[in-house]
Structure 1
Amino acid sequence: MNIFSRYLIRYLFTGFAAAAGLLLPLFTTFNLINELDDVSPGGYHWTQALLVVLMTLPRCFIDLGPFIALLGGIVGLGLLSKNSELTAIRSTGFSVFRIAMVALTAGIVWAASLGAIDEWLASPLQQRALQIRNVAMATENGVDISGNILWARRDNTFMTVKSLNEQGQPTGVEIFHYRDDLSLEFYIYARKATIVEGDKWLLQEVNKKQWLNGKESTEIKDVLPWDAFFTRMSLDVLSLPANTFSVGQLNHYIAYLQQTRQPSLEYHLALWQKLGRPILTLAMILLAVPFAFVAPRSSALGSRLAVGGIVGLLLYISYQIVVNLGLLFALSAPFIALTLPTLCVIVALMLIWRYDKVR
């Protein structure tokens, strides 16, 4: 890597820092306003809301990564263009395509950094933040934490947990066991359960109904040991949205769902989006290159940023629409997550090739 490449990369990362400095405080303020709407005197305090916003800041940074790549690329290359430094660099033999490849190198480093932050910082902090928020909001009315309903299956037995209490223990446990002809053999309801160790649960205040030869029998027990078959991941984590999971957690849970023949598309899609987002980030940094060669002598950097912001917003909205439609119609997760980012990369390379030929 020669001195010109290092110079370009330095300016690009300066642009990334400027874009992050603009976008992060703005979106963090929006998130704080949204959290303050749920603040109440007896439950979710403003200090907890502030803590939740700070803990989800890395997730906000990850989500804004493609925007930062586009706007930061426009800023970095735009400053070089405004000062005629891009012209000077091109006079040394740098083509537009070569400049784009240097920008792509910076984009790869940027995307890799975002991936590392996502895996080891953003995901665990976001999970902990949502748990703090759920506990605080549940405390207000003295009710259990109603998160996502948890379901698990093993062969012909289905098990569901209605909610988790403040200690993360299951409440409202229901168990359904079916015969091979799909008739219900027995049903168990437990008001709460205690996780003794691993899969060993102690169901409490149990009501069990059983059907045999057309007759129904009812049995009430104070305590009933039960081998639960939820994955060994924490139930607190399982009740959170799929997009909060790390790659390791997604791989583990997808394997469990496939082993127990349960639907896993939502988690497959969340996993493939971990790859789709870096590709979209690379597309954004490549799209920033043509902006630097539009009216290179013009000082209207603000107008370029405005157009770039609109382009980035449209691509982001389009990606969310594609993802949700793919989930709705149960399409292939790699196809849903990678098609639009890959098309954006191809379009960006075509634009760069066009400017390289014209100039």
Structure 2
Amino acid sequence: MKIVDKYILANVFLGFLAAAALLLPLFSTLDLVGELDDVSEEGYRLAQALQVVMMTVPRRAVELGPFIALLGGIVALGQLSLTQELSVLRAAGISATRIAFTTLMAGLVLALTLGAVDEFLASPLQQKALQIRAKAIAMTEKGSSKESSIWARKDGQVARIGGLRQGRPSQIEIFSFDDQDHLQEYIVAEYADIQPEGIWQLHNVRLKRWVNDEEEGIQQLDQLPWHAILPSTRLDEVSLPPESFSARQLRRYVLFLQGTGQPATQYEMAFWQKLGVPILTLAMILFSVPFTFGQARSAGLGGKLALGSVVGLLVYVSNQILVNLGLLFKLNALLVGVLPAFVMLAIAILIVCRFDRSSR
């Protein structure tokens, strides 16, 4: 690698750091303001809200990856433009395409780094933060109504888990149907102990059976073994939102939902989004190249950053709108999650090539 490439890369990486230092505190402050609505003296305290926000900073960094790439590229190349170093590089015969390629390499490093952070740091920390938040809010009357149930269906059985009590599933309901969808058995259990090989030991069980649509009475049992139809992943993970899952968790849960005939669109969308964000990051870093060259004479660095912020926000919001529309109209998850990012990348490449030809 030539000295010029190393110099550009070093400046772009510094630009990434500057953009992250600007965006992460801003968005974390907004997250904290949102958490204050649930803060109370009895359960969810301010210290816990601060802890939750700090633990979700890696997730916020991953989500803002394309935004950081765009602003970081503008900062780096804009500074080189102000010091006339870009002009010197162009006069020395280095094309805009060459500069764009070097900048793209920095974007690739950023995308891979954020992908690793997402998989091994952001997802575990966010899930832990959400569990801390849920347990704290559940201690208050305000949070008692927010506990969500976990549903599963497989081979004529439908199960509902009302919540988790000290890590154990509680408020369990199991419905068993025959081939004609007639209810044959209904089980209610207070809680269950999870045992190896997918067996749950149900406690304080009430069991109803029907034969030919006639009730055969009610049985009260202290314990009853049940072969669980819930996924092998931990229950406290299943109850979390899809965006907090790692790619591996999403893939495993999507396969479970598809294998049991349950809707999986939301989780499929989240999975393909994780692949689309790195591609969108590459597109945004490429956009910073013609953006900076094109604005070299007409605006200072502050104006470029302001315009870049508007563009970045528009891309961020548009991507979220597309995902929600995809869920609403049940569009193909692969197309919604990845295609817009590829389109943006193709447009960025075309703009860079066209700008390079026009500036020769």
Q: TM-score, normalised by structure 1?
A: 0.95
Specify the SS of the correspondent of 2:44: coil
Structure-to-structure mapping, 1:1-359, within 5 angstroms: 1-141=1-141, 146-165=146-165, 167-197=166-196, 199-217=198-216, 218-297=218-297, 300-359=300-359
Deviation, 1:57, is 0.9
| Alpha-carbon distance, 1:251 to partner | 1.9
Q: Is the 8 A contact 1:134 1:145 kept in 2?
A: no
Give, in whole Å, the separation in 1 of the partners of 2:232 and 2:147: 18
RMSD: 1.7
- Post-superposition shift, 1:151? 1.6
> 1:211 offset after TM fit, Å?
1.4
Work out the CA distance in 1 between the residues paired with 2:264 and 2:34.
31
Q: Give the 3-state SS of the residue equivalent to 2:139 in structure 1.
A: helix
SS state at 1:172 partner: strand
Paired residue total: 358
Q: CA deviation at 1:206?
A: 2.1
Matches of 2:233 and 2:269 in 1, distance apart? 19
Please say if residues 295 and 304 of structure 2, whose CA atoms lie closer than 8 Å, have aligned partners that are also in contact.
no
Question: d(CA) in 1 for partners of 2:12 and 2:298?
Answer: 19
Tell me the SS of whatever aligns to 2:170. Answer: strand
Aligned mates of 1:146, 1:224 — CA distance in 2: 29
Amino acid at match of 1:52: V
Which residue type is aligned with residue 176 of structure 2?
A: H
CA deviation vs aligned residue, 1:294-336 (integer Å, no higher than 9, x gap): 2424561111111111111111111111111111222211101
Q: Does the 8 A contact of 1:78 with 1:291 survive in 2? A: no
Q: Note closer, same or farther for the CA distance 1:143–1:290 as it changes in structure 2 (3 Å cut).
A: closer
- Give TM-score, length-normalised by structure 2: 0.95
Q: Tell me the distance in 1 between the aligned counterparts of 2:14 and 2:81.
A: 15
The question of whether the paired residues in 2 share the 8 Å contact of 1:146 and 1:162 is answered with no
Write the distance in 2 (CA, Å) between the matches of 1:147 and 1:289: 48
Which amino acid in structure 2 is aligned with residue 222 of structure 1?
Answer: D
Once the two structures are superposed, what CA deviation does each residue of 1:259-287 show, in whole Å capped at 9, x if it has no partner? 22222222111111111000111111011
Query: How far apart, CA to CA, are the structure 2 residues paired with 1:198 and 1:40?
Result: 41
Offset, 1:198: 5.2
- Residue pair 1:80, 1:86 contacting (<8 A) in 2 also: yes
Deviation at 1:147, TM superposition (A): 4.2
How far, CA to CA, are the matches of 1:234 and 1:338 in structure 2? Answer: 28
**Gaps spanning 5+ residues in structure 1: where?**
none
**Are the aligned partners of 2:160 and 2:174 in contact in 1 as well (CA < 8 Å)?**
yes
Q: Secondary structure at the match of 1:252?
A: helix
Q: Secondary structure at the match of 1:293?
A: helix
**1:18 Cα deviation after fit:** 0.7
- What letter matches 2:37 in structure 1? D
State how far apart, in whole Å, the 2-side matches of 1:308 and 1:131 are.
Answer: 36
Q: Please tell me the residue identity of whatever aligns with 1:344.
A: M
Q: Match for 2:198: what amino acid? A: D
* CA distance in structure 2 between the aligned counterparts of 1:295 and 1:257, rounded to whole angstroms: 50
Which string of whole-angstrom CA distances, capped at 9 and with x for unpartnered residues, describes residues 75-128 of structure 1? Answer: 100011111111111122211111111111110001000001111100000000
Q: Report the Cα distance in structure 2 between the residues aligned to 1:329 and 1:33, rounded to whole angstroms.
A: 32
Tell me the CA shift for residue 143 of structure 1: 7.8
Which whole-Å CA distance do the structure 2 matches of 1:148 and 1:99 have between them? 51
Gaps of 5+ in 2: none
Give, as a single letter, the amino acid of the residue that structure 2 aligns with 1:46.
L
Q: CA offset at residue 145 of structure 1?
A: 8.5
